[in-house]
Amino acid sequence: MAKVAGYNFSRTCRKRFWEADFQATPTDWATASEYLRRRRAIREPCICSTDERMAADILDPGSGLLFSDRLQTTVLHHPEDQLLSQRGVRERQPDRIFGLEHTRVLKQLLPDPEVLRHSPFKDGHLSYPFLIIEAKSEKGSPGFQSVERQSAFPIRTLLKLQLDLQTVRNVPISPLVWFMANQGDEWRVYACIVDGAKYRIIDIWHGCMLSLDSTLQLLLIADYICDWARDIFRPNILRCLSGRDDILRDETPASAYRDSFDFTNMALSTSQPDDSTARNLNSITRRTHSLSLDPSLGSILTNPYSLPYEESDGSSDKALCEGDYRCLQFSQAEGNPVPWKQHATIRHSNLILFSFHILSIPEDPSQIIKILESLSRSEPGPPTTCEDLLELLDDDQSITVTMNAVYQLETAWTGRAHKPTALGDFPVRARVLFHTYLREDWQIIREIHCIAASRFAVLALMQMAGHHGRPSYLSPGLMPSITLETENLRALRCFSGSASLAGALSAAYLRLATEPSPSPAGTNPPSVVFQPLNENENSPLFDLEKKLTYKQTSNPTSSKQETVSDGFAAPAELKRCSVPTRKMDRTGAVLIKKPLSWSADSPAFCLMILDDVPLTDLPRLGQRLSEVCAAQNIYVTGAERGNDGHPLSDVDQIGILRWIEILSGRLSEDSPWEM
């Protein structure tokens, strides 16, 4: 197990000495799995000579190891197990324990031991151990059962450390501890897990080192554990300690020794925290509302999926806010905002947050069941849901493409670069969806969701649903050549002005569907185009589709905020599911009042600018707001309308009039919102 405690990369070229033949993969988080797959795809082996490696070792300034170990050190009982000492159960000293080394990032994240214990040792210098090794001589040994009993309480203590962290941070990490024991030439490997209120030690392998096959198998298992610890366990602990459900990276071969001998701490935070799916869906249903674009309707369209809300930690938008300052002027929260900014904000319809989401259906039936159960569907039992999901993938609005084509689509949408791989050329069945809406901070969102299933995932679904045969659209010899980056896609990305706001307020929703080629069969591949939903579409299948997309709403694969250029009209497909923009164009701006279902933290009013008025020119903004109010180009829900049919109540009208005076400079900026 020297590979765990030692370096796995060259200090000269930053490339790896070795890779495990069987590599660990996250099974409960698609984004982490995809991110890890891409990292592994670009890794290269070290080809440095022995002299070059030795020279780098001589210049090594100190330890930069990710893991460390302890030899025959007492493992303290968990605080909940203090009665064990009173009953005469003494604390054990395992032969060897591996855990996390205190790197710079880990030290910053570790909590106070009095608040949350992270080490089983008295000095606390080795955190969250994940591997215990016990060795016994061949002669006079009490046997493996005695070794298991001897190690039971240390194993339970290590599992409890992980379980406590998971419980306090409310971020799942699936506690797991490995246990290896040998008696002479005989070796056994155990996986130790938490099963409800019980702690299970599972015998997963045993063999004799006198056998060449068994020796090689044990080496492969050791490599697998090293790979799992580096690429799955440690990132899980870091993201859990940080309270975030995204990937965190610390010192890596790519970042170390770049210009000096100082390690560089790197963190990847491309998405917002991903809560449990059930809680996420409940939040969406509770906090969303569909706004009517036609004030004459005087009522709100009740659709719980119209305006998805993303819980934000306040950092995502800030990190993405680069570019045109006139559109970003009011997009970031202030520490102590002036009174009017607590009630209202100003946004531009051309400032868009683009996000791309990939939900890969797992190939393991047990993982499929977990996903289906997490959707909180009212229909009982997973088989029915498997049937619906198969129907979703089978119909004519799902397409057969390669994952490389999906990555190409992501590059076109958010600019995230991908390197095509041979593995990505195999066909997948995909459901690609476009959605635009207003977030509760008045940010316009345009997102693309891709629900993808490989041939093996579809076969697993068919087996679970009791179907036989193989899907023709995912035959092994099929190599689809469909390109998803089309003019239709570019039009969805570029439309601006009133069309941008109209689509967001309508919560426009499109699907990518295949259009048959007009040329003779086989000469040209079919084309794809985004199409609106069928009118009044509402079915269990549609409900499942939306829940699958909302499962990934708060966990984008990539995102990018930018200002689109003026003068681009919305594509015809989007106009068909958006209301006319004629009235909005008259004033070049719209005043919107938030629905009652939005959170109290959201500003009550938003002046949405649609033309080229700079957001830095406050007097012109005040004039524009006055023109909007005079034309009553105001959009509110029917239940909140004022007296005599006016869109605003008397109290709201007073606040808006004072807002106009403040923007125009006739009142000071720190004047109260209400008189």
Query: What is the SS3 assignment for 398?
Result: coil
pLDDT tens profile 26-54: 655 555 566 667 666 766 777 676 655 54
| Residue pair 180/4 in contact by the 8 Å Cβ criterion | no
More confident residue, 609 or 111: 609
Burial 338-354 (b: 16+ CB within 10 A, else e): ebbbebbbbbbbbbbbb
Beta bridge partners of 182: 135, 187
The one-letter amino acid at 178: W
Find which of 90-99, 104-113, 315-324, 532-541 is predicted with most confidence, using mean pLDDT. 90-99
Share of the chain above pLDDT 90, in %: 20
Does the structure show a pLDDT above 90 at 193?
A: yes
Q: Which residues of 481-490 are buried (b: 16+ CB within 10 A; e: fewer)?
A: ebebebebbe
Average pLDDT on 401-417 reads 89
**What sign does the dihedral 332-336-340-343 (CA atoms) show?**
positive
Model confidence pLDDT, tens digit, residues 177-191:
999 999 888 999 999
Q: Is pLDDT larger for residue 383 or for residue 154?
A: 154
Give the pLDDT score at 537: 62
Would you state the pLDDT for residue 657? Answer: 93
User: What band does 246 get if pLDDT is binned at 50, 70 and 90?
Assistant: very low
Average pLDDT over residues 535-539: 61
Q: pLDDT tens for residues 612-640?
A: 888 888 999 999 999 999 988 888 764 55
Between 313 and 246, the more confident residue is 246
> Which residues touch 62 (CB under 8 Å, ≥6 apart)?
none
Question: Which among 335, 270, 244 has a CA at the least distance from the CA of 561?
Answer: 270
Distance between CA 567 and CA 496 in Å, rounded?
7
pLDDT(294) > 50: no
Average pLDDT over residues 151-161: 91
DSSP 3-state assignment of 34? helix
Please enumerate in sequence order all residues whose Cβ is within 8 A of that of 114, keeping only pairs 6 or more positions apart, or say none. Answer: none
CA distance 76 to 118: 12
Q: What is the pLDDT, as a whole number, of residue 420?
A: 78
User: Per mean pLDDT, which range of 276-290, 349-363, 485-499, 637-651 is the poorest?
Assistant: 276-290
The lowest-confidence range among 425-439, 532-546, 616-630 is 532-546
Per-residue pLDDT reduced to its tens digit, 335-392? 557 889 889 999 999 999 999 999 888 888 888 888 877 776 545 444 457 888 888 8
Q: Is the dihedral of CA 651, 654, 657, 658 positive or negative?
A: negative
CA atoms within 13 A on the CB side of 428: 24
Alpha-carbon distance of 121 to 65, in angstroms, equals: 19
The answer to whether 119 touches 126, Cβ cutoff 8 Å, is yes
Nearest 5°: the CA angle 10, 14, 18 is: 55
**Rounded-to-10 torsion of CA 87, 92, 97, 100:** 40
Rounded to an integer, what is the distance from CA 222 to the centroid of its chain? 30
Confidence grade of residue 536 (pLDDT, cut at 50, 70, 90): low
In the predicted model, is pLDDT for residue 277 greater than 50? no
Residue 271 confidence class, pLDDT cut points 50, 70, 90 = very low
Three-state secondary structure call for residue 197? coil
What integer is the mean pLDDT of 140-144?
74
Q: Higher pLDDT residue, 17 or 583?
A: 583
Residue type, 133: I
pLDDT at 79 (0 to 100) = 78
Unique residue bearing structure tokens 């019980």? 198
Give backbone dihedrals phi and psi of 452, rounded to 5 degrees, phi first: -120, 140
**Alpha helices in 395-495, H assignment, sequence order:** 403-414, 455-465, 487-494
Q: Report the distance separating Cα 358 and Cα 408, nearest Å.
A: 13
Higher pLDDT, 583 or 36: 583
List, as one string, the DSSP characters of 491-509. HHHH--HHHHHHHHHTT-E
User: pTM, whole model, 2 decimals?
Assistant: 0.54
Helix 365-374 vs helix 455-465: angle between axes, to the nearest 10 degrees?
80
CA distance 231 to 233: 6
How far does CA 424 lie from the centroid of its chain? 21
Q: What is the average pLDDT value for the chain, to the nearest integer? A: 75
The pLDDT value recorded for residue 174 is 86
The residue type of 667 is L
| pLDDT for position 58 | 39
In 3-state terms, what secondary structure has residue 330?
Answer: coil
- End-to-end C-alpha distance for the chain, whole angstroms: 73
Q: Inform me whether the pLDDT recorded for 275 exceeds 50.
A: no
